Every structure is written in structure tokens, then in C-alpha cells.
Amino acid sequence: MLARRLLDAVNSGKDEVLRAFLKEHLGEHALELAPFDDWFSYFHEMAKQSGGVDVVDILPAPRPRGLVFEIRARRLNRYAKVVLDVEEQKDALLDFDARLKPDAAAAKAGALPSVAMSEQEVARVITQRVEKLGAADRFSGAVLVVKGDRVLVRAAQGQADKAFAAPNRIDTKFNLASMNKMFTAVAIAQLVEKGKLSFEDTLAKVLPDYPNKAFAESVTIHQLLSHTSGIGGNIFASPVFEHRERFKRPADYLPLFTKEPAEFPPGARYGYANAGFVVLGVVVERLSGEDYYDYVQNHLFAPAGMRDTASFAWHEATPNRAIGYAPNENDTFGVLPRQTNLMTLPFRGSPAGGGYSTVADLRAFAAALRGHKLLGKAMTETVTSPKVEMPYGQRKYGYGFESRLVHGKEIHGHSGAAPGINGDLEIFSDGSYIVAVLANYEPPAAQDVAGEIVEFLALQESK
């Protein structure tokens, strides 16, 4: 089996053996993903770190030509989950990805308790949990927990800039990744309230000059907002990072995907699509007559009192902005220092994500939404209520908002994830709590913290 021979080459500890294997078995797809020298460097570093690896478990594979298994590093006694794609007929390696498997015992140590507590105790144990995760280097970011109108927890851990040992603060600006989709959805809903479009309008009606006429005539605003449009393409294709200066406005992204066929018939199913929200940004510009970034600033951020939220350009000297830190691409077992994510950032955020904000501003957004400062009561319900089942985590998607039930409590909001970026806003729909967590570490640094806090608070409410 190809996987066995690959691990034998890694375990040989001999560069010439590893090079010979890769020269013979790296498939065309693998070489499209990365040049030969990068693949060699990756496996060379794995061998150097681990002192050899052993397969300890075979796991179910999601794809017919895929293999999933767990390996143990002999020298480190650490584990990694491996996803391997092969083409057996050509005896070719197509793709390989190995990620450190977190220590389950360490993750549970110090976890939030499930007993009823006073409000003061709740605040204390959440703060202590965040501090422990920071001390263990499992979290770097900021946390804000609000009950009603009162702040229960305000905490920050880690460093915004490791080169200068600059600490994260409660007012540090973090990259939001996909959390910007909430803002784009609210912008569209505002235009619906003003009578400038409806959720059932086709894209062709709103953008008659959209490059893919057939797709535009078959898809609705509702489908773009709920990720059921089937829109194809990738807004994170290599030109976005190799030629960032070309992608400054939403319309600049259209050539990346408008010629791509739909992945499925519009309305057939859920399929998360960043391209759909970029198109919605173009819709906002066309119908409002304003630049997208000006629109959200004037009609969302300013009314909500969000003073530190914007889509700053990657090279702007922005005060108090956190640099994202991602694992070294050759670090299978979590022993190498993290690298900055600057090379993975587009020129600036888009309507699909990538802007910056603070946990305080996210609280202000949630409060403005709940107080109907941005949308009327009925429209707020329309935007945040579930429309379609998501394929994981028993979540549902509305219009730019996810929703789920936790111990009988309905929660809505959105997360964001990218290399060196993770965030989560969780709003209890009954008005009891707002939980905002932003991190400048890789996923799921913030989502794990937010999820644990939400679970804890929902249990407290149910007792």
C-alpha cells in the first residue's frame, strides 16, 4: 500500500530514500498544490521532529480514494490525524495533511463545572478558565461575557505581536474572518426594509449585467444569503494573495468565479459559499449607491456605536491590531514556533469576511441588533431565524447568522476561521447573554472557548 511505503520512507531517516519515493509517487495534483521541494521539506521535518512514526488507528475515510489514520511520534509521544488522498491505479500520492491531535485529558483539565453557581462565581470560573488556556498557550485573544446590560467577564490573554511582546487587550482589534457575513446580511435586510429589493428577487433583476446571465436568472437573494445558491468558484484563489492590490472592492473578485459552473442547482441543498456574499456586497453597492465599506460604516457600525470595526488594508499601520499566528506549515506535532499569517491575508476584508473588530464592538452590534437599532423587530427575526440545515454540529443557517439550541436555549451568531484567525459571537435570543470571543491563533482557539462558555451559561440558566 502506498501509505505504508510513504511512512517507511519517512521512518528511514534517510533523505535519499525519501527523495526517491517522492520523485516516483508524487502525483500531478500534489505538484499543483506545492512544488517538489516543499513536499520534501514537509516530510523531512516530520521525520526530524518525530524520530519515526507509527500508525495507531485507522479511521473512516470521507472520500473513496482517501485514507484517514492516526499516527504517533516515537520521540515526542504526540499524536496526529492524517488525511491522505491516493490514486491507486497510478500509484500516486495526490494530497497529504497531518494535524496535531489535541490531548483530550489536557483539554478537559480545568473545564467549566456543571453545577449551579452564583453570578459572581460564574464570572470567576470563566475568567480562571480563560487564564489557564492562555497560560497553556491554547488561547490568545479577548473574551467578553455580558448578562443583560452588565459585563460579567472581561479578559485578554496572549500577545497581539510576539515580536515586540505586545499583549492582547480587551480593546485589541482582531480579524473576524467570516463573521463579516452578519454585517452583509443586515445591510441587505436594510435595503429590503427600504423596498429596494426582496429576498425572492433573482440576482438578474438586481444585477442585470452580472457576467453569468444564466446563473443570475436562476438564483435568488434568499439563496445567496442562506448558502443554498450553488454558486461555484473560490475567492481565495492564489491571485488574491499574489496580486492583492487588484482586489480592493467586491466587484474585483467576480472574475474569479463568475465563469465557474454552479456546484448544484440553486435551492437544492446547503453549500457554504464565500463567493455568494461577495456578490451580495456588489448588490449593496448597486442598490445603495454607496461603496460597500462606506455603507456598512454609515448604516451599521456608526448607529451601533462600533468605533473600532473596519476592513483595514493588510499593510495599514493600524493601532492595536493583533497579528495572526498560524502553525508552521511543516509542523505536524506542534513543536515549531507559530508563523505570522500576513502572507495569507487579502488586501482587505470583503463582504464575505476578513474585517477587524473588538469584542466590545461585537457586543455593541449584538445589542443594537437586539434593540432594533439596525432592523425592525420582524426583519431581525427574519434574518436570524433558521432557514436551512447545516451538515454539521446540529446547526441551522439563516441569513448570515447561524442558530442552534443549547440546553433549550436558542443561540444565534456567527463564527470565523482562517489561518491565525478565529472568532465567535454567540447571542442568547432570550436576551440573557452575549458571548464574544476573538483570537489571533488558529481555529478552534476562540470557538472552543466560546462553545464551552455558552454550554456553561445555558446549563446555569436551566438549573
pLDDT at 236: 87
User: Does 229 share its domain with 282?
Assistant: yes
pLDDT for residue 105 is more than 60? no
The secondary structure of residue 154, as a DSSP letter, is: E
pTM of the model: 0.88
Query: Which domain, by its residues, includes 87?
Result: 2-100
pLDDT at 392: 73
pLDDT for residue 162 is more than 60? yes
How far separated are the first and last CA of the chain, in Å rounded?
A: 54
User: Does 338 share its domain with 436?
Assistant: yes
| Whole-number Å distance between alpha carbons of 253 and 267 | 23
pLDDT for residue 89 is more than 80? no
pLDDT at 218: 97
Confidence label for 99 from pLDDT (cuts 50, 70 and 90): confident
> Last residue of some domain: 76, 100, 124?
100
Q: What does 103-153 look like in DSSP terms, one character per residue? A: -HHHHHTTPPP-S---HHHHHHHHHHHHHHHHHTTS--EEEEEEETTEEEE
Q: What is the domain-level CATH number for residue 55?
A: 3.10.450
Q: Show the cell assigned to 455.
A: 454550554
pLDDT for residue 210 is more than 60? yes
Residues 6+ positions from 143 with CB-CB distance below 8 Å: 126, 130, 153, 154, 155, 156, 359, 435, 436, 437, 449, 453
Q: What one-letter code names the amino acid at 323?
A: I
| Whole-number Å distance between alpha carbons of 317 and 86 | 45
pLDDT at 104: 60
User: Does 211 share its domain with 233?
Assistant: yes
Q: Which residue has the higher pLDDT, 196 or 111?
A: 196
Give whole-number Cα distances, 150 to 24, 122, 154, 432, in Å: 63, 13, 11, 10
| Whole-number Å distance between alpha carbons of 350 and 279 | 10
Q: What one-letter code names the amino acid at 245?
A: E
| Whole-number Å distance between alpha carbons of 140 and 178 | 19
User: Does 32 share its domain with 178?
Assistant: no
> Last residue of some domain: 55, 81, 100?
100
The residue written with cell numbers 456546484 in the block is: 263
Rg of the chain taking only CA atoms, in angstroms: 23
Mean per-residue pLDDT of the chain:
93
User: Does 93 share its domain with 113?
Assistant: no
Confidence label for 330 from pLDDT (cuts 50, 70 and 90): confident
User: Does 413 share its domain with 271?
Assistant: yes
> Averaged over 90-102, what is the pLDDT?
86
pLDDT for residue 29 is more than 90? no
Largest CA distance in the chain: 69
The secondary structure of residue 212, as a DSSP letter, is: -
What is the CB-side half-sphere exposure of residue 365 using CA atoms within 13 A? 31
353-395 pLDDT, tens digit per residue, is 999 999 999 999 999 999 999 999 999 999 999 999 998 778 9
User: Does 228 share its domain with 348?
Assistant: yes
Specify the number of domains making up the chain. 2
User: Does 116 share its domain with 76?
Assistant: no
User: Does 124 share its domain with 82?
Assistant: no
3-class DSSP state for residue 399? coil
User: Does 142 share its domain with 6?
Assistant: no
399-454 pLDDT, tens digit per residue, is 999 999 999 999 999 999 999 999 999 999 999 999 999 999 999 999 999 999 99
pLDDT at 63: 62
pLDDT at 334: 85
| Whole-number Å distance between alpha carbons of 124 and 132 | 12
| Whole-number Å distance between alpha carbons of 28 and 9 | 20
pLDDT at 109: 61
| Residue 230 CB neighbours (<10 A) | 21
The secondary structure of residue 321, as a DSSP letter, is: B
239-283 pLDDT, tens digit per residue, is 888 899 999 999 999 999 999 999 999 999 999 999 999 999 999
> Last residue of some domain: 78, 100, 122?
100
Q: What is the domain-level CATH number for residue 303?
A: 3.40.710.10
pLDDT at 214: 96
> Averaged over 126-148, what is the pLDDT?
96
| Whole-number Å distance between alpha carbons of 192 and 134 | 43
Q: Show the cell assigned to 111.
A: 473545564
| Residue 83 CB neighbours (<10 A) | 17
pLDDT for residue 164 is more than 90? yes
User: Does 73 share its domain with 162?
Assistant: no
Confidence label for 106 from pLDDT (cuts 50, 70 and 90): low
Percent of the chain with pLDDT over 70: 97
User: Does 10 share its domain with 139?
Assistant: no
pLDDT for residue 61 is more than 80? no
